[in-house]
Amino acid sequence: MAASLTQTVPARPLAARPTMRETLQQTAAMAWRALLKMRRNPEQFFDVTLQPLLFTAMFTYIFGGAVAGSARSYLPIIIPGILAQTTLTACMATGIQLREDMDKGVFDRFKSLPIARIAPLAGPAIADLLRYGIAATLTILVGFAMGYRPGGGLAGVLGGWALTVAAGWSLAWVFTWLGTIARSAQAVQGISMMFMFPLTFLSNAFVPTQTMPGWLQAFVKVNPVSQVIYACRDLMNDGRLTPHVGWAALGCAVVVAVFAPLAVRSYARKM
Amino acid sequence: MREHRNHAAGLAVEATGLVKTFETVRAVDGVDLEVHQGQVLGVLGPNGAGKTTMLKMLATLLPIDGGSARVFGVDVAANPHQVRQMVGVTGQYASVDENLTGWENLVLFGRLLGLSHVQARSTADELLSSFGLTSAAGRQIKAFSGGMRRRLDLAASLIRRPPLIFLDEPTTGLDPRTRGQMWETIRALVRDGATVLLTTQYLDEADQLADRIAVIDRGAKVAEGTPDELKTNVGNSTLHVRLEDRERTAEAAALVARVLGEEPVLTPEAGGLNIALPDANRAADVLIAMREAKLGISTASVRQPTLDEVFLALTGHHSDRDDAEAAGGLR
C-alpha cells in the first residue's frame, strides 16, 4: 500500500450542495463517459446512420409523385420532415439507453457520490448531440445527392441543421424523463413509441396539412415538431428567419423547462 | 447528558431504530447501530437478513423509512450531499462501468469528485499501482476477474480518501487467495485510520476484520459484541465426530454429556455429532473418553463455529431459510 488512502476524520467544511461549476464539470465527465461507450459500441450509431439513408430515399420516392408531382419537387418539403423524424427517433434511444444504464451497478456508485443529480442525465444528453448531428448531416447529404438544392444557401442549411440538433436535444428530455419513471428498457421503448408516432406523423412532416380534417389540423399546429419543421423549411428553402423559428425555439425551451426538472426529480427520488 | 454528547462525537455512524419497508415486508425493522471512529463493525447475517438494505440507507442509496442515522454527526436523511462527501461505498456487485477500462473508470470518478484532469489521472495511476492493477489498467472491466473487479471497486471508493468506508460483502464469491488479499487491503485501510462498516455472511471474515460484530436476522439485530463474546455464546470451537458404528450414537452422546456437562448436537447424517467446546483443548478429553469406551471414530475435526451454529445458538433457528419473502426483501 502506498501512502495513506483515507483520512481519519472528515475534512470540513462540507458543501451543502454542488456549485454550478462543479455541476458543469460533473456533466462534462458524464458526457465523456457516454462518448467512450459510443466508441466501444458502434452499433449505437445504426439508427442515426441507416435511418436517414433509408427513409429519405424511401419517403421521397413513395410520396413524392403523389404529394408534389415529382420526387425532386418534393425534396424541399420532405428533407426538413425527415430531419425532424430521424432526430426524434435518435432521442428516443436516449431514454432507452438511460434506463438500461440505470440498472447497472455503476449507477449505484453515481448515486453514492456527492455529485449534482442532473449530471448523470445531462451528460449522456450532451454526448447524444453527436448522434443528432450525424443524423441531420446525413439526411441533408442524401437530399443533396437526390437533387435537393436548398434556396436558403449555406447559412440557411446550417441554421436548419442547428435547429434540428437543438430540437433533438430538447425533446430528448421527454424520453429521459420516461427513462427515469419506467420499470424497464422495454417499457421505455413502448411508451416512447406512443409519444413518437403522434409527434412525427400528426405533423406537417410528410404532407401539406390543408387536406387534414380541422381537429387534426389544430393538433398539428400546436405540435412542437411541426413548428420545428416549418422553421427548418423557412431557413433551408428560403433563408428567412420567420416567426416559426421563434415558435420552434420557444417550444423547445418549454419542453426542457418542463421535462428536465421532472426527470431530475424522479431520478433523485428513485434512489 | 454531557458525557453522552462527548461519546457521540467519537461516532462515525450512529443509527437508531432504522426501518425500511418494501410493500408489506419490513426488510429492516428497527436496527440500532454505532460505529466508533477508527473501528471496524462487521454486520453479520444470512442472505436476505437486511444487511445490504441497511447499508444502502446509511449510504444515501435508499430513503430511510423510519428511525434516524447520522454519519460523523450529519443527519443522513436531511443532508445526503454532505454525507456522500465522507463515505466511500463498495457494493456487493462491482459498481464500476463495464464498458470502460480500469483507468478510465478511476479518471471518471476522479473528475466527478472534482479533481482536475491532471490530478484525476495521477490519482488513477497511483490507485491502480496500490491495488496491483497497473497491468490491467487499459483493459475493459468486462475482461476483469472477480477479484480484480472488487479491487478496482474498492480503489474507486478511495479516490477522495473518505474517512468512512462501507463494504457490502467484500469477498463473497472470491477464491481464498484473493479473499486473503482483500482482507489485507482492508486491514491496511484501518491502520491508516479509516472507519469501516462491512457486511458479511462469513463468521470467519467478521472475526478476522471486525472489532465488533452485529448479528442481523430478519431485519433485526439479534446480538452484538466483540468476536470473542459472540463465539463464547456458541463455544469457542466445535468438535465434529463421525462414528464408525452409527447404532452407538446415543451412547456416544451420553458419554460427551458426561465429559463436558453438555449435550452434543446430532448432525443430519447418521452417526455424526457436533460438540460445542468451551475450549479447543477439551477436544482431547472427549476423544480419549471415546477411545476408552471403544467407540470407533471414522472422522474427527475441530473447527470454528459456523455462522449457522452462531445463528442456531442466538435465534433458535437455522440461518439458511427458504423464505421467499426474505429473499425479496434483499433488493
Rounded to two decimals, the ipTM of the complex is 0.87
Residue B268 pLDDT greater than 80, yes or no:
no
Any A CB within 8 A of B256 CB: no
A96, part of any domain: yes
Query: What does the pLDDT average to over A34-40?
Result: 92
Q: Between A and B, how many CB-CB pairs are < 8 A?
A: 134
Residue A3 has what pLDDT? 56
B contact residues 122-151, partner A, Cβ 8 Å cutoff = 126-127, 129-130, 140
Nearest CA to B186 out of B201, B168, B202 is that of B168
- Say how many domains are in chain A: 1
Q: Do A6 and B158 touch (CB under 8 A)?
A: yes
Q: Do B96 and A113 touch (CB under 8 A)?
A: no
A129, part of any domain: yes
Confidence grade of residue B328 (pLDDT, cut at 50, 70, 90): very low
Tens of pLDDT, residue by residue over A64-95, are 888 888 888 899 989 999 999 999 888 888 89
Confidence grade of residue B46 (pLDDT, cut at 50, 70, 90): confident
Side chain identity at residue A193, one-letter code: M
* Cβ atoms B72, A10 nearer than 8 A: yes
Nearest CA to B304 out of B208, B223, B212 is that of B208
Residue written as grid cell 454429556: B257
Nearest CA to B89 out of B114, B54, B65, B120 is that of B54
Residue A8 pLDDT greater than 80, yes or no:
no
Please name the fold of domain B2-231: Rossmann fold (3.40.50)
A11, part of any domain: no
**A221 HSE (CA, 13 A, CB side):** 8
Count of residues for chain B?
331
Q: Do A32 and B111 touch (CB under 8 A)?
A: yes
* Cβ atoms A152, A235 nearer than 8 A: yes
A28, part of any domain: no
Distance CA A142, CA A53 (A): 6
A258, part of any domain: yes
Q: Do A16 and B79 touch (CB under 8 A)?
A: yes
**Chain A residues touching residue B127 (CB < 8 angstroms):** 5
* Cβ atoms B60, A109 nearer than 8 A: no
Q: Do A40 and B99 touch (CB under 8 A)?
A: yes
Q: Do A6 and B161 touch (CB under 8 A)?
A: yes
Please name the fold of domain B236-304: Alpha-Beta Plaits (3.30.70)
Task: Tally Cβ neighbours within 10 Å of residue A49.
Answer: 15
Q: Is the peptide bond before A13 cis (omega within 30 degrees of 0)?
A: yes
Which of A108, A112, A115 should be substituted to probe chain B, the one whose Cβ sees the most B Cβ atoms within 10 Å?
Answer: A112
**Distance, in angstroms, between A43 CA and closest chain B CA?**
14
Distance CA B186, CA B202 (A): 16
> Measuring CA to CA, how many Å separate A226 from each of A62, A129, A205, A223, A251?
21, 21, 7, 5, 10
Range of the domain at A180: 43-269
Torsion angles phi and psi, residue B125, rounded to 5: -60, -45
Which of A22, A105, A271 is nearest residue B93 as measured by Cβ atoms?
A: A105
Residue A271 pLDDT greater than 70, yes or no:
no
A69, part of any domain: yes
A5, part of any domain: no
Q: Which three cell numbers stand for residue A82?
A: 425527415
* Cβ atoms A44, A38 nearer than 8 A: yes
A151, part of any domain: yes
